[in-house]
Structure 1
Amino acid sequence: MLRWSRVPVLRRVEPFVVAVLAAVALAAVLPAGGTPAAALSWVTTVGVGALFLVYGARTAPAEALAGLRDWRLQGSVAAATYVLFPVLGLLLSLAVAPFLAGGLVAGVLFLAVLPSTVQSCVVFTATAGGDVPAAVVGATASNLAGIVLTPVLAALLLGSSAAGPDGAAVGRIVLQLLVPFLAGLLAGRWVGPWVRAHRAPLTLLDRGVIVAVVYAAFSRGVRQGVWREVGAGEVAVVLLCAAVLLSAVLAVTWWAPLLWRAGRPARVTTAFCGSNKSLATGLPMATVLFDPHAVGLVALPVILYHPLQITVCSFLAARLGRAPQLQG
């Protein structure tokens, strides 16, 4: 029998997913407005900066450099994240544009240019018998590159829908994302060991900020009546887009490494690191890159993709871990 207990995320419903969905539901019935909304906006702005400060502090440069030795594997993960995904996202967005509101189309494209997750990729890779150090490096490098590449690709693909290269937008990205990250990276020499040793409580901070961002974005959309324009049919189309993207990228990242005769551990690592997208990084970025009135719609594809990737990749990781001899 398939041992589901081998995959921790499937032992129970992931609390983070439940919290995100609860924030959406709360915003639908009790949206923040007035003074509470202003306070929440301030909290999320500071919180996003704090997140990237922590991201920088817990990045170990020595470990990252050590894992860059397999340049073909790391190049494959980067190409899947920042070339294959955006191309597929662009084609898919053009196909579904007649059926979706503009904000949802932008959300599909934004999903396609996000960096990979870190924790989930490592868990899936370890469960499936992949190259764990390479997964740590690949996912971390993806997030580092995403600080620059995600805003650039979003501006190129979305044009005026996202923050372009104008001074105000660049300043917002630099001050809220890049400066805290670099400050954390510089301080990592002194605080990095403490940050990595206290990952659990800092993860609560991480998740708490994301839930606050979701609640603020969806509250704004409810107050403005945006969600009255989104029907079940559009949600179904977005889910279909997420499923197509995940399936296509998983297939390509599993089979393409055979072109250079990659071993099974490298194929496993490429598949999981190349197909996952980071909700934790994506939603804070959305608050910086998009107009506040559009964030709610833009966030929906990212929010729907997250539980889908957790479910599908958990099943695949358990299947591969149970049958390590599987090669094709």
Structure 2
Amino acid sequence: MRIDPFVIAITLSIVLAYFFPQLGASGSPIPLNIIASLGISLIFFFYGLKLSTEAIKSSLKNWKLHVVVQASTFVLFPLIVVVFYPLVKDTTHEMLWLSLLFMAALPSTVSSSVVMVSLAKGNIPAAIFNASISGIIGIIITPLWMTTFIQQTDIAYDFSAIYLQLGMEILLPLILGLLLRKYLGAFAQKNKRGLSLFDKSIILLIIYKSFVHSFEEKVFSSVSIFDLLIMFVLVIALFFLVFFITGWIGKRLHFNREDRITAQFCGTKKSLVHGTVFSEALFGQTSIMGLMLLPLMLFHAVQILIISVLATKMGKEETEREIAESRSSHQNN
């Protein structure tokens, strides 16, 4: 299997931040903060233009599936991490734990969820609905999870300013995009690939800027290779735990095959786009932003690899089953 090019681009951004920090340094003549802020607003404006209101309307009846996906994304994921809080409270690992919680509290990713559900022959309209609505819910829920625990650290935050920034940079452009979808929706659909490239470019810019700041302040000096390996193992374990729990719940609720796939694939994903944007609002004024993105970037690589393998396998099995049924039907006739 080939490595996702975006994962390679993320790695290169971090390498550039370490060896060539000049463009993102504090005294840089290039206003990366302003560029990133405008880029974020445009990402969510285009997100509003691309949001499929038809798919959302057609999927409203399947409420049990939607509850499972959103509960997995915003309740199950964070709660599993929160259980371990007493073990790290007031220790040197508390900040790493906080970064893991940040990753766990994020919305589901949109494009890859839909693509993987399609590949596995799952419920595509429900995947579009859940992936789309997840991003909107996350604007409110993700900061709520974080504020509960950030308040117990030594870092000073102005939460009213954070919500104001989220409202101005994300919610307002999103609403504007939805309102203009009637006029510009066709343009957004036609230029999907170009807009996706724009999204990724802004994300890479924010990652570069974040890691430059973190390297300047020597934030990673306390993070050992062993810590990174442990984080990688925890990220994989968290993914599989949630994947199997959502699958078990789907069986208990008697979901059909398509709905079980959608519950597992959408309920286990975390959005790098939203994570990068939210980290800018929550941690942008501090030097720990790069550290906060670390588990998310590991999870991004892991989820793409594992879900790609599972989706391909499930899709192949379903195709073989359909061929066998078709042959059996022809023989009977």
TM-score (norm 2): 0.89
Partners of 2:296 and 2:209 in 1: CA distance: 16
Q: Aligned partners of 1:100 and 1:303: how far apart in 2?
A: 21
Are 1:144 and 2:136 matched, yes or no? Answer: yes
Distance 1:34 1:45, change over 3 A: same
Change (3 A) 1:278 1:37: farther
Most deviating of 160-169 and 55-64: 160-169
The aligned counterpart of 1:21 is 11
Equivalent residue for 1:154? 146
Once residues 82 and 237 of structure 2 are traced to their aligned partners in structure 1, the CA distance between those partners, rounded to angstroms, is: 13
1:283-317 superposed Cα distances (whole Å, 9 cap, x missing partner): 11101112431211101010111000111111111
Which residue type is aligned with residue 90 of structure 1? V
Matched, 1:178 2:152: no
Alignment of 1:287-326 (within 5 A): 287-290=280-283, 291-324=285-318
Cα shift readout 1:98-127 (whole Å, capped 9, x = no counterpart): 876443221100001100011111121112
Aligned residues: 316
Task: Give the one of 55, 58, 61 matched to 2:47.
Answer: 55
How far does residue 47 in structure 1 lie from its aligned partner after superposition? 1.1
Aligned partners of 1:88, 1:118: CA distance in 2, in Å?
23
Partner of 2:58: 66
Instruction: Name the CA distance, whole Å, in 2 between partners of 1:192 and 1:164.
Output: 37
Measure, in 2, the Cα distance between the counterparts of 1:44 and 1:102: 28
Q: What is the percent sequence identity of the aligned residues?
A: 29
Aligned to 2:182: 189
Quick check: 95-104 or 262-271, which moved more? Answer: 95-104
**Is 1:77 aligned to 2:40, yes or no?**
no
Q: Deviations over 1:197-247 (max 9, x none)?
A: 110001111000000010000000111111222110111121122112101
| 8 Å CA contact 1:77, 1:274 repeated in 2 | yes
Cα-to-partner distance string for 1:73-102 (whole Å, 9 max, x where unaligned): 111101100110110121245446687644
SS in 2 for 1:36: coil
Mark the runs of 5 or more structure 1 residues left unpaired by the alignment: 1-9
Q: Paired residue for 1:6?
A: none
The answer to whether the Cα contact below 8 Å between 1:90 and 1:157 also exists between their aligned partners in 2 is no
Question: Is contact 1:86-1:109 (8 Å) kept?
Answer: yes
* 1:140 Cα deviation after fit: 0.9
> Which of 223, 231, 234 in structure 1 is aligned with 2:216?
223
> Is there any run of 5+ residues in structure 2 with no aligned partner, and where?
322-333
Aligned alpha-carbon RMSD (Å): 2.1
- TM-superposed CA distance for 1:167, in Å, is 2.6
Structure 1 residues 153 and 163, CA, compared in 2 at 3 Å: closer, same or farther?
farther
Shift of 1:163: 8.8
- Which residue type is aligned with residue 57 of structure 1? L
Structure with greater Cα Rg:
2
Cα contact 1:99–1:234 (8 A) shared by 2? no
Deviates more, 1:224-233 or 1:17-26: 224-233
Q: One-letter code of the match for 1:23?
A: S
Query: Which of 246, 253, 262 is residue 260 of structure 1 equivalent to?
Result: 253
Aligned to 1:30: 20
1:285 corresponds, among 269, 278, 282, to 278
Distance 1:66 1:98, change over 3 A: same
CA contact (8 A) 2:88 2:94 kept: no
**Contact 2:59 2:129 (8 Å CA) reproduced:** yes
Report if aligned partners of 1:116, 1:273 keep a CA contact under 8 Å in 2: yes
Q: Does 1:239 align with 2:232?
A: yes
Deviation at 1:38, TM superposition (A): 5.7
